Amino acid sequence: MELFKQACRLPEKDRAELAGLLLESLETEPDPAVEQAWAKEIERRVTELDVGTVKTVPWETVKARLLGRLRES
């Protein structure tokens, strides 16, 4: 737990980078079929954003909604 406490004292950018590196360290070799499916899904979503068929939601709004749901349960 001491390591966690030390990590929490890092600046936000460094914590995010550390979190990403830790997650990457848990990953195994990617499945080519899964990678292809994700690439297709990403392309679809970017196209939706570009043509305006979907709208983005600010992170603070999403966060507030999620916290509200947690409080309700």
| % residues pLDDT > 70 (the chain) | 100
- Same structural domain for residues 8 and 20? yes
> What per-residue confidence (pLDDT) applies to 73?
86
> Is 9 in the same domain as 35?
no
| Co-location of 5 and 38 in the same domain | no
Average pLDDT over residues 32-56: 97
Q: Closest Cα to residue 55, out of 63, 45, 67, 66? A: 45
- Of residues 11 and 73, the one with the higher pLDDT is 11
Domain containing 39 equals 31-73
Residues 43 and 12 in one domain: no
First to last CA, the chain: 28
> What is the reported pTM?
0.51
Segment 8-22 mean pLDDT: 96
| pLDDT tops 90 at residue 60 | yes
